[in-house]
Amino acid sequence: MKKYIIAIIFMALVSPIFAQNNSEESPNVYCVTVSVEKIYHTSQGYIIFYKTQRGIASVGIPYSWFYGGGATKAELVKLQVGSDWPSMTIFYNNGELTHLRVYTHRYVGHYTWGYVAQGIDTSSYFTDEETITLKF
């Protein structure tokens, strides 16, 4: 019994040495989820129409974000039929977009999937490959 008491006292004295220093500023990490209305395949990427507080907004996400090298900026998660998707979750760290996930129906014949006809110019949706601007 005496050994246990000594061990507990020793642990109490030593444990502050291993405590994490919280004096540094912690990162401001948060995410926003929006409901997706329609997703269009184009030659450059996906054009996603999503709901905002003011109506419907759109954003073009290049294929390189989904299928680039090791560190991709976006994920396309295909799920079975459900009421919580299609949706898009955008992750921010200190106010900057770090990555996003698009949850869609597995079946691309679902009414939320669409294709843009050839010959239609969609380049205005893909002006910058490094970042995108979302409206809420």
**Per-residue three-class SS string for the chain:** CHHHHHHHHHHHHHHHHHCCCCCCCCCCEEEEEEEEEEEEECCCEEEEEEEECCEEEEEEEEHHHHHCCCCCCEEEEEECCCCCCCEEEEEEECCEEEEEEEEEECCCCCCCEEECCCCCCCHHHCCCCCCCCCCC
| Per-residue model confidence as pLDDT tens digits over 95-117 | 888 889 999 988 888 889 998 88
pLDDT band at 14 (very low <50, low <70, confident <90, very high): low
Residue 28 or residue 13, greater confidence: 28
Closest to 65 (Cα-Cα) out of 85, 37, 90:
90
Across the chain, mean pLDDT equals: 82
CA-to-CA separations, 86 to 17, 21, 100, in angstroms, rounded: 48, 41, 13
Query: Can you give the pLDDT at residue 13?
Result: 61
Contact (CB, 8 A) for 132 and 46: no
Closest to 65 (Cα-Cα) out of 89, 101, 34, 32:
101
What angle is formed at CA 135 by the lines to CA 129 and CA 136, rounded to 5 degrees?
145
Query: Can you give the pLDDT at residue 84?
Result: 74
pTM value is: 0.73
Amino acid at 18: F
pLDDT band at 35 (very low <50, low <70, confident <90, very high): very high
